[in-house]
Amino acid sequence: MSSVVLATAGYDHTIRFWEATSGICYRTLQYQESQVNKLEITSDKTQIAAAGVGQIRIFDVNSNDTQPVNTYEGHTGNVSAIGFQKDTKWMFSGKLTAS
């Protein structure tokens, strides 16, 4: 596998991992409850967070397991922002709000 990996997601309810140099998709994860609004990878490149409607799921980048390692629920709308602190000790998130 290539050392450069690209991750994509969107309104089709899937997260895909691609070998960037060849363009081959080598792994697909389902995010069945909603579209994926945002992806964010940890600084050590071991986990990826996927934000959807009302929840965030964390997946292991290097595993073949299709289940998330953790799920965070509680937002009342579309989670549109996620990120990790540099040492991955905490994660932040935000959502769209109406004015």
pLDDT in tens, 80-93: 999 999 888 899 99
Q: Which of these, 10, 36, 26, lies nearest to 62 by C-alpha position?
A: 26
Spatial distance between the Cα atoms of 90 and 60, rounded to a whole number of angstroms:
16
Instruction: State pTM to two decimals.
Output: 0.88
Per-residue pLDDT tens digits for 22-64: 999 999 999 988 999 999 999 999 999 999 999 999 999 999 8
Q: How far, in Å, CA of 69 to CA of 78, rounded?
A: 21
**One-letter amino acid of 48:** I
